[in-house]
Amino acid sequence: MTYRILCEGRGFYFEAGAASRPIVVTRKGQPAAQPGTRHPFWRAVALWSGQGRRMSADGLCIWDETRRTRIGTAAAGSDHRDPEQAPAAA
């Protein structure tokens, strides 16, 4: 089956089997030049696949970008306290 995914404002057609890596194809289903290994297309397809291969009514792959947080920041849930509010050392 041929799928269509939007990634960074550009549409890609690809075929994805259950046991093989996705292959970028043309609109007519012919093999196309494959993006480089660091191209955002691969992340988009991996997220789409990992999120249940959801599809929109018009046939586009639906995927959500995961939030990137650094360990040790407030966004990651670490406990930051005001030094003046800390208990006094004995």
Q: What is the DSSP letter of 42?
A: H
Taking the model in full, what pTM does it have? 0.70
Question: In a structure prediction context, what are the per-residue pLDDT tens digits for the chain, which is 90 residues long?
Answer: 899 999 999 999 999 987 788 999 999 999 999 999 999 999 999 999 999 999 999 999 999 987 665 666 555 444 444 545 555 555
- State the burial class of residue 14 (Cβ atoms within 10 Å of its Cβ: 0-12, 13-18, 19+): buried
Amino acid 57: pLDDT: 96
pLDDT of 2: 93
Q: Look at residues 31, 58, 34, 29 and name the one whose alpha carbon lies nearest to residue 45.
A: 34
Query: For the chain, how big is the Rg over CA atoms in Å?
Result: 21
